[in-house]
């Protein structure tokens, strides 16, 4: 009990210090976090309010069943994301942290160390859950004027639901590390691929069923369509407990809402107890297995991914090529990085595919252009977020071992240009794939496809230049956690600069031509095309400035640093 109290008091002190630092030291950081949160929550809430208002205003039949199915899918999706995100954060906190290495050298119980880190992991992973789920549920309550019991019980449902997938994700992390300590990354990749395959398969089946029943909107057709989601409406699925409980609370039926709430909390607490007990017996064992390795034989040298990457990099000089491969190896060895990229890129890909598949053969030119522009913005936002999270901290993480790089026979400038090429090429491959697939599915004009590809090229290079240049100009060599580096003053400034650059680039390079195609006025189209061309050139110029100016500042700062 005394150890538990010590860890809990440590957690409260850290929370208090972080709060004081957040409100006292950096107003810019606080305002930017608040503005971004309000923007995301407001956008989700406005879209949800419009959808619920459409159902309520038009008196659409079976609206209750439709909303229940949507809630089932919403909580199931968020639960899966919580499972993976909590597992990834717990892995980084328990097995890749200097703090836990120190704590395990003390006479501290393994389950107490696990509980101490688990609270942080659940807090980080549930933030996105609340930011996305809460506006949807509040919009539902406002549009349908539900009972006040709904708003009172909503926090209890959300907090209880977070425990279940978070605890299962943490327990899965412990089992994977103990069973296959040297193949944990391959196992994580396999799980993600299986999840993506299942989602794609269910999406294809649903789209085919929707097209078959679209011409016969009767009770049997709707029943067949809703039957595709029976897996999410099972009484044994926690997401359905959330739906049943919240809909009962919305009707003011407290007795019907009590059982789902009790199921959520009892199973969530049991899952946490299971994860904590697992950590008591397996955490130290897994930590030791990771530290010592599961086999005495060790293979040195690169793997096939490194050799495959070397082929297109032959265009660069050997020093730059080796620097890019070094950063790539560091990236692929950290599952917390590439797993997040795979998950969110897969979600964006799923959204892009469904944005076309839910409609019949012809979208119409105007609507297709609007959807393609929205998909371009979604891809750009994903790129901006991951540049700030993974690329900006790269220079700061090199600080403690920079003396090794300083012994190499090369200039410091080449180190930054190597990181720039690594970031730009990686972002270009992922984002170009998403944008090309989107435009091909929407069947837009070939010139729109080329325009989007050029825009993504400028965005990839510009965001990479901003993240690498500002990362060298405002490094944080005292911090070893990249997530904390990314949310510091420099990371916040980089995020704001990236968002402004994103808006300017898309607004100048892509938006004018879409407006030219959508708006059919009496103005001379030749004059409009001239304006479009001038705006495109201005966007390219801003992209070049976003590369050269930050990189020049970062190179100058790196040259003057002493290590």
Does the pLDDT at position 167 exceed 80?
yes
Q: What is the mean pLDDT of residues 499-520?
A: 86
* Domain membership flag for residue 1: no
pLDDT value of residue 90: 86
Does the pLDDT at position 28 exceed 90?
no
Does the pLDDT at position 358 exceed 50?
no
Residues 278 and 400 in one domain: no
Domain boundary among 292, 321, 347: 292
Does the pLDDT at position 156 exceed 80?
yes
Residues 67 and 207 in one domain: yes
CA distance 490 to 98: 23
Q: What is the mean pLDDT of residues 540-552?
A: 94
Residues 257 and 326 in one domain: no
* Domain membership flag for residue 489: yes
Residues 520 and 381 in one domain: yes
* Domain membership flag for residue 21: no
Q: Identify whether the C-beta of residue 201 lies closer than 8 Å to the C-beta of residue 114.
A: no
User: 3-state class of 269 per DSSP?
Assistant: helix
More confident residue, 153 or 443: 153
Angle, helix 238-250 to helix 110-143, in steps of 10 degrees: 40
* Domain membership flag for residue 38: no
Q: Of 2-6, 72-76, 222-226, which gets the smallest average pLDDT?
A: 222-226
Does the pLDDT at position 286 exceed 50?
yes
Angle, helix 110-143 to helix 27-57, in steps of 10 degrees: 50
* Domain membership flag for residue 50: no
pLDDT value of residue 119: 87
Does the pLDDT at position 360 exceed 50?
no
Residues 70 and 186 in one domain: yes
Does the pLDDT at position 12 exceed 70?
yes
pLDDT value of residue 272: 94
pLDDT value of residue 496: 84
The mean pLDDT of the chain is 80
Does the pLDDT at position 139 exceed 80?
yes
Does the pLDDT at position 182 exceed 70?
no
pLDDT value of residue 461: 95
Residues 507 and 478 in one domain: yes
Residues 218 and 317 in one domain: no
Domain boundary among 234, 263, 292: 292
pLDDT value of residue 92: 79
Confidence of residue 222 (pLDDT cuts 50, 70, 90): low
More confident residue, 165 or 382: 165
More confident residue, 154 or 305: 154
More confident residue, 54 or 182: 54
Name the burial class of residue 552, with classes exposed (0-12), middle (13-18) and buried (19+) by CB atoms within 10 angstroms of its CB.
middle
- Per cent of the chain over pLDDT 70 is 78
Residues 321 and 266 in one domain: no
Domain extent, residue 112, equals 62-129+146-292
CA distance 317 to 414: 11
Q: How many domains does the chain have?
A: 2
Confidence of residue 275 (pLDDT cuts 50, 70, 90): very high
Residue-wise pLDDT for 516-537, tens only, equals 777 765 556 777 788 889 999 9
HSE at residue 36, side-chain half, CA atoms within 13 A, is: 18
* Domain membership flag for residue 505: yes
Residue-wise pLDDT for 388-424, tens only, equals 888 888 888 887 677 677 777 778 888 889 899 999 9
Q: What is the mean pLDDT of residues 321-337?
A: 79
Residues 373 and 231 in one domain: no
pLDDT value of residue 549: 93
How many angstroms from the chain centroid is the CA of residue 447?
Answer: 30
Q: Dihedral sign for Cα 354, 359, 360, 361, please.
A: negative
Q: Identify whether the C-beta of residue 234 lies closer than 8 Å to the C-beta of residue 242.
A: no
Residues 459 and 557 in one domain: yes
CA distance 394 to 323: 12
pLDDT value of residue 359: 46
Residues 112 and 211 in one domain: yes
Name the burial class of residue 547, with classes exposed (0-12), middle (13-18) and buried (19+) by CB atoms within 10 angstroms of its CB.
buried
Q: Tell the residue number behind the tokens 């199931």, with chain if given.
A: 76
pLDDT value of residue 542: 95
Q: Give the ranges where 1-109 is alpha helix by DSSP (H).
A: 2-24, 27-57, 63-95, 98-104
Q: What is the mean pLDDT of residues 203-210?
A: 60
Residues 242 and 380 in one domain: no
Torsion of CA 81, 82, 84, 85, to 10 degrees: 100
More confident residue, 237 or 299: 237
pLDDT value of residue 296: 41
Does the pLDDT at position 467 exceed 80?
yes
Confidence of residue 465 (pLDDT cuts 50, 70, 90): very high
Confidence of residue 2 (pLDDT cuts 50, 70, 90): confident
pLDDT value of residue 534: 92
Confidence of residue 228 (pLDDT cuts 50, 70, 90): low
pLDDT value of residue 51: 77
pLDDT value of residue 307: 72
Q: What is the mean pLDDT of residues 255-268?
A: 93
Going from the C-alpha of 23 to that of each of 16, 32, 120, 135, 489, the distances in angstroms are 11, 12, 20, 25, 13
CA distance 563 to 446: 51
Helix, strand, coil percentages (3-state) for the chain, rounded to 5, are: 85, 0, 15
* Domain membership flag for residue 19: no
């Amino acid at each position: 009990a005394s150890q538990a109290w010590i860890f809990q008091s440590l957690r409260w002190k850290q929370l208090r210090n972080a709060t004081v630092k957040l409100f006292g030291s950096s107003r810019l950081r606080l305002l930017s976090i608040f503005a971004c949160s309000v923007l995301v929550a407001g956008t989700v809430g406005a879209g949800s309010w419009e959808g619920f208002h459409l159902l309520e205003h038009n008196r659409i039949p079976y609206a209750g069943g439709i909303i229940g199915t949507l809630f089932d899918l919403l909580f199931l999706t968020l639960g899966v994301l919580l499972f993976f995100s909590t597992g990834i954060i717990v892995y980084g906190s328990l097995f890749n942290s200097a703090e836990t290495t120190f704590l395990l050298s003390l006479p501290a119980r393994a389950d107490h160390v696990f509980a101490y880190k688990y609270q942080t992991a659940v807090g980080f992973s549930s933030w996105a859950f609340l930011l996305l789920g809460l506006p949807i549920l509040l919009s539902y309550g406002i549009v349908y004027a539900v009972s006040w019991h709904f708003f009172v019980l909503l926090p209890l449902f959300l907090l209880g639901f977070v425990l279940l997938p978070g605890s299962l994700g943490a327990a899965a992390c412990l089992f994977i590390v103990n069973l296959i300590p040297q193949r944990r990354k391959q196992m994580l990749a396999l799980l993600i691929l299986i999840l993506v395959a299942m989602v794609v398969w269910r999406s294809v089946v649903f789209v085919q069923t929707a097209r078959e029943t679209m011409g016969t909107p009767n009770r049997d057709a709707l029943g067949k369509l809703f039957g595709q989601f029976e897996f999410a409406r099972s009484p044994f699925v926690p997401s359905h407990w959330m739906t049943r409980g919240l809909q009962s609370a919305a009707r003011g039926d407290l007795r019907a809402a009590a059982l789902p709430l009790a199921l959520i909390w009892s199973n969530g607490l049991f899952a946490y107890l299971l994860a904590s007990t697992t950590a008591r017996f397996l955490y130290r064992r897994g930590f030791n297995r990771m530290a010592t390795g599961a086999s005495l034989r060790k293979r040195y040298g690169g793997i096939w991914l490194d050799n495959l990457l070397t082929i297109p990099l032959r265009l660069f000089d050997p020093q730059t090529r080796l620097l890019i491969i070094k950063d790539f190896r560091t990236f692929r060895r950290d599952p917390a990085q590439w797993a997040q990229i795979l998950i969110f890129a897969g979600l964006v890909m799923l959204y892009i595919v469904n944005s076309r598949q839910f409609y019949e053969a012809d979208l119409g030119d105007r609507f297709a252009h609007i959807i393609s522009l929205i998909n371009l913005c979604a891809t750009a936002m994903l790129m901006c977020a991951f540049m700030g999270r993974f690329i900006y901290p790269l220079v700061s993480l090199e600080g403690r071992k920079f003396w090794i790089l300083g012994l190499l026979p090369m200039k410091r400038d080449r180190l930054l240009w190597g990181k720039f090429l690594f970031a730009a090429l990686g972002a270009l491959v992922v984002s170009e794939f998403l944008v090309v697939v989107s435009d091909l599915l929407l069947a837009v004009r070939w010139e729109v496809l080329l325009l989007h590809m050029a825009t993504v090229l400028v965005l990839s290079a510009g965001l990479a230049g901003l993240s690498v240049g500002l990362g060298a100009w405002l490094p944080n060599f005292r911090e070893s956690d990249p997530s904390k580096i990314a949310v510091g003053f420099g990371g916040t400034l980089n995020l704001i600069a990236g968002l402004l650059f994103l808006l300017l680039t898309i607004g100048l390079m892509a938006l004018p031509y879409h407006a030219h195609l959508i708006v059919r006025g009496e103005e001379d189209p030749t004059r409009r095309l001239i304006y479009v061309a001038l705006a495109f050139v201005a966007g390219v110029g801003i992209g070049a400035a976003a590369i050269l100016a930050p990189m020049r500042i970062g190179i100058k700062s790196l040259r003057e640093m002493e290590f």
